[in-house]
């Protein structure tokens, strides 16, 4: 049996509990995908260079936005191109110091690479510093304001008047800019035909600010600090070399624009950071203390789904299994978008697809998510008959099996639910325990953490290795674990594991964390996925905010329910989705 692996289910609870638990898995078998990642645009060989122009555009309220237009070269005289709009909060382009500025256009790093690929595939790329950021004027009371969304519509109107635009407009973005791309659709502009949302949230509350109802304090603090540094024209990167090479955001018009840049930066002093808007928030419908919005839903894409559907644009949602909780966000977007031309891709990636991550195996990327995006854009904006419309709606990757698969729905058809039970002495099995009753005592330990190289720190681009969660074996020594016997056959877990516990505690609230892991024949422990819940948010609802495939809870104040000390309480919650082959 030395060639078989174990399941491991691990629990960390931040209140004292007595636990008999039940665990559900989903497995599936679907068609494998061939030739998925071989696409190259027919226009890719035509263009080798990029020309960049910059200017200010004045919006309806007098606020001026810094805009750059990236043109593919060579181009024929008078040639018109489809246009991609990109609204960013993270500087449209850095201002490089001499002598680096002599040989670099400033399209740096991972995101610079994807911009180059899009432009050289035959698209004009209009890159905008969102109002209140970069070299743009104005201020930012919170992310994705109504003014920022309306700005996007005005920029599209301007694009259509240019002699280089052919009337076909798309929008793309990663993370913040992906959400900005989705919000552009709220304008329902008829020229915007395609939207590619990569590694981005869908529900601000549950996907990033308070995942599982638990405040995401580290992200909120660090993201807010990074944005504040950007607003001060400082690079929020601890590495010395990038800070030596970059002055700040690039002024419009180069050196001549430094006076205007100084004025724009002065306006940014009125920006409010997300930490101010989320301070003290417990419930979805709770108004922030600064009262800049009624609730977080005011800048959450899910809250605008009807208007997004009304745009008629094709939407391609892309995420990775280690992309924080955004793979669930991508699934939610896919499930709730009414358009027929709505597709989903879930890969073995971290945030932004910097690494291919299979636990215990991390290695280089074997698929370029951006080139798959080019296939999508070519079909909807250029009319290229590349077969995109004939492909299944869902592409997903099964880790350890190391294969791409397809489906037309999520979860894939053919899924079978399995129930697993916790047993005495740390056992985990499909058979019911012989004892009718049983319990384990777990004591709270607020010092336990998931480690540095985690899915959550990936959201801040802080993980520099494909080897996520390298120390799970050591961390397990401090946690309660439940192991299966070695598996007799391979088993695929694809979908959303569901966890049920019965709790008796001496506290009125607490946070419960569960991790699903693989124990290899050599004794290595590989992290697979995790789930959690804050006890006061445990109540399920029959009126969910949106369609989902997991137990629904509102996270609203009316449904908040403290635990009753000494009383046994049932709690059901989901783990983040995955596709993993246990061998």
Q: Where in the chain do CATH 3.40.50 domains reside?
A: 44-314
- Mean pLDDT in order along the chain per 10 residues (583 residues): 48 43 44 59 96 98 98 97 98 92 82 93 98 98 98 99 99 98 99 98 98 96 96 90 90 92 97 91 96 97 98 98 98 94 96 88 69 95 96 96 95 91 92 86 80 93 89 88 94 96 94 95 94 98 96 97 96 98 93
User: What is the SS3 assignment for 12?
Assistant: strand
**Phi, psi angles (nearest 5°) of residue 571:** -130, 130
Tokens representing residue 497 in the block: 């594991």
Pick the closest to residue 195 from 311, 316, 327 (CA basis).
316
How far, in Å, CA of 219 to CA of 209, rounded? 8
The three-state DSSP-derived secondary structure of 421-451 is EEEHHHEEECCCCCCCCCCCEECCCCCCCCC
> Closest by alpha carbon to 175, among 318, 340, 357?
318
With residue 50 as reference, give the H or E element that holds it. strand 49-58
Whole-number pLDDT of residue 29: 39
Q: H or E stretch including 579?
A: strand 578-582
Q: What is the DSSP letter of 288?
A: P
Residues 349, 356 contacting (CB under 8 angstroms): yes
- Which candidate, 14, 573, 86, 37, places its Cα nearest to that of 328? 573
- What backbone torsions phi and psi does residue 409 show, to the nearest 5 degrees? -140, 165
Q: What residues have CB less than 8 Å from 425, skipping those under 6 apart?
A: none
pLDDT (0 to 100) of residue 241: 84
Q: For the chain, where do the domains classified as CATH 2.60.120 start and end? A: 6-28+414-582
| Domain 6-28+414-582, second-level architecture | Sandwich (2.60)
Phi-psi category of 473—alpha, beta or left, where left has phi over 0 and alpha has psi -120 to 50? alpha
The residue annotated as part of the active site, out of 351, 356, 496, 537, is 351
Q: Interior CA angle at 530 toward 524 and 534, to 5°?
A: 140
Distance from C-alpha of 88 to C-alpha of 63, rounded to nearest angstrom: 16
Nearest to 348 by CA among 319, 370, 317: 319
Would you state the structure tokens that stand for residue 543, as one six-digit string? Answer: 């009126």
Q: Does domain 44-314 have CATH number 3.40.50?
A: yes
C-alpha to C-alpha distance for 152 and 179, rounded to whole angstroms = 12
Query: Residue 188 corresponds to which tokens in the numbers above?
Result: 């329902």
95 is catalytic: no
Separation of alpha carbons 212 and 386, rounded Å? 40
341 and 185 in contact (C-beta within 8 Å)? no
DSSP label at 152?
H
Cα distances from 210 to residues 15, 205, 532, in angstroms, run: 19, 5, 11
Task: Give helix then strand counts, H and E, for the chain.
Answer: 14, 25
What digits encode the pLDDT tens for the residues 76-103?
A: 999 999 999 999 999 999 999 988 888 7
Tokens matching residue 220: 């909120």
Given this model, what pLDDT does residue 4 score? 45
CA–CA separation, 21 and 32 (whole Å): 35
Q: For this structure, is 37 an active site residue?
A: no
Q: Which of 151, 203, 206, 323 is catalytic?
A: 323
Residues with Cβ within 8 Å of 77's Cβ and at least 6 positions away in sequence, in order, are none
Distances (CA, A) of 475 to 217, 234, 385, 427, 478: 21, 37, 51, 19, 6
* Catalytically annotated residue among 175, 295, 415, 484: 175
Sequence-distant (6+) residues with CB within 8 A of 461 are 351, 352, 354
Q: Tokens 């605008």 appear where?
A: 304
Place of tokens 């088993």: 491
Alpha-carbon gap, residue 570 to 73, rounded angstroms:
63
In sequence order, what E strands does 348-415 have?
A: 394-398, 403-407
């Amino acid at each position: 049996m030395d060639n078989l692996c174990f399941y491991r289910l691990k629990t960390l609870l931040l209140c004292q509990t007595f636990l008999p638990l039940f665990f559900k898995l989903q497995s599936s078998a679907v068609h494998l995908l061939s030739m998925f990642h071989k696409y190259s645009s027919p226009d890719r060989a035509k263009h080798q260079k990029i020309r960049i122009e910059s200017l200010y555009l004045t919006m309806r309220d007098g606020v001026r936005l810094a805009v750059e237009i990236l043109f593919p070269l060579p181009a024929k005289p008078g040639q018109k191109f489809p246009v991609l709009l990109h609204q960013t909060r993270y500087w449209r382009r850095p201002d490089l110091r001499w002598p680096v500025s002599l040989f670099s256009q400033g399209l740096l790093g991972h995101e610079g690479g994807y911009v180059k690929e899009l432009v050289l595939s035959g698209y004009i790329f209009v890159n905008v510093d969102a109002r209140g950021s970069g070299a743009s004027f104005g201020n930012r009371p919170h992310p994705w304001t109504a003014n920022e969304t309306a700005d996007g519509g005005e920029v599209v109107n301007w694009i259509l008047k240019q002699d280089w635009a052919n009337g076909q407009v798309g929008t793309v973005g990663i993370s913040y800019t992906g959400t900005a791309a989705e919000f552009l659709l709220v304008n329902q502009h008829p020229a915007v035909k395609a939207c590619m949302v990569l590694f981005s949230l869908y529900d601000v509350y549950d996907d990033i600010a308070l995942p599982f109802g638990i405040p995401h304090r580290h992200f909120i603090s660090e993201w807010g600090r990074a944005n504040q540094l950007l607003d001060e024209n400082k690079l929020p990167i601890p590495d010395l070399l990038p800070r030596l090479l970059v002055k700040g955001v690039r002024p419009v018009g180069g050196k001549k624009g430094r006076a205007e840049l100084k004025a724009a930066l002065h306006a940014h002093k009125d920006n409010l950071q997300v930490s101010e808007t989320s301070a003290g928030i417990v419930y979805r419908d709770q108004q922030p203390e600064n009262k800049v919005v009624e609730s977080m839903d005011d800048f959450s894409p899910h809250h605008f789904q009807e208007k997004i559907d009304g745009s008629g644009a094709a939407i391609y949602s892309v995420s990775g299994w280690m992309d924080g909780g955004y793979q669930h966000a991508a699934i939610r977007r896919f499930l709730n978008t009414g358009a027929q031309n709505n597709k989903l891709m879930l890969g073995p990636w971290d945030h932004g697809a910097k690494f291919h991550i299979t636990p215990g195996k991390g290695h280089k990327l074997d698929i370029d998510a951006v080139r798959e995006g080019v296939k999508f854009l070519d079909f909807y904006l250029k009319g290229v008959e590349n077969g995109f419309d004939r492909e299944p709606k869902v592409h997903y990757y099964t880790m350890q099996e190391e294969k791409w698969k397809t489906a037309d729905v999520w979860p894939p058809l053919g899924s079978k639910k399995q129930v697993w039970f916790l047993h005495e002495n740390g056992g985990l099995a499909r058979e019911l325990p012989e004892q009718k009753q049983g319990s384990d005592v777990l004591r709270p330990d607020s010092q336990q953490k998931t480690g540095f190289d985690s899915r959550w720190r990936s959201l801040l681009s802080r993980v520099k290795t494909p080897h996520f969660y390298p120390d799970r074996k050591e961390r397990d020594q401090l946690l309660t674990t439940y192991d299966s016997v070695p598996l007799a056959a391979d088993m695929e877990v694809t979908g959303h594991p569901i966890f049920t516990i019965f709790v008796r505690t001496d506290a009125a609230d607490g946070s419960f964390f569960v991790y699903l892991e693989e124990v290899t024949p050599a004794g290595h422990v590989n992290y697979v996925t995790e789930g959690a819940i804050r006890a006061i948010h445990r109540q399920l609802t029959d009126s969910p905010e949106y369609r989902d495939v997991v137990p629904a809870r509102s996270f609203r104040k009316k449904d908040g329910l403290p635990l009753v000390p000494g009383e046994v309480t049932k709690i059901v919650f989901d783990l983040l989705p995955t596709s993993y082959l246990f061998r």
